[in-house]
Amino acid sequence: MDDSPWRSSERNGAGDAAFTLGVLAMVFVFVPIVGDLVAVPSALAAVVLGAVGIVRAEQGLATNPGKALSGALLGVLSAFITFVTVAAMGTFG
């Protein structure tokens, strides 16, 4: 791999994506009908990408462990809210 000045050696993509998907999932948790169909996959992806981002940060490959952790936690929280809502209402979607 070359050390070009415009190419960063940091691998922050997973943490950034986790945070973005976590925020997206939290927004769609509160949208009726379509929200559940968007929030659940977004939340699961946020958790997985957050874990990848945290591992990369621990290995020294990424510089955004806070963003990765925040994305993972937002994903877990939105999945929890969705499943509690589904259990309380008795329907999905």
Cα angle for residues 8, 11, 12 (degrees, 5° grid): 105
Alpha helices in the chain (DSSP H): 13-29, 34-58, 65-89
Confidence of residue 89 (pLDDT cuts 50, 70, 90): confident
The CA distance from 72 to 19, in Å, is 7
For 1, half-sphere exposure in the C-beta direction (CA atoms, 13 angstrom radius) is: 7
Please check whether residue 72 lies inside any domain of the structure. yes
Percentage with pLDDT > 70 across the chain? 88
pLDDT attached to residue 57: 93
- 11-55 residue pLDDT tens: 899 999 999 999 999 999 999 888 889 999 999 999 999 999 999
Does residue 1 surpass a pLDDT of 70?
no
Please check whether residue 7 lies inside any domain of the structure. no
Please check whether residue 73 lies inside any domain of the structure. yes
The CA distance from 76 to 10, in Å, is 26
* Structural domain total, the chain: 1
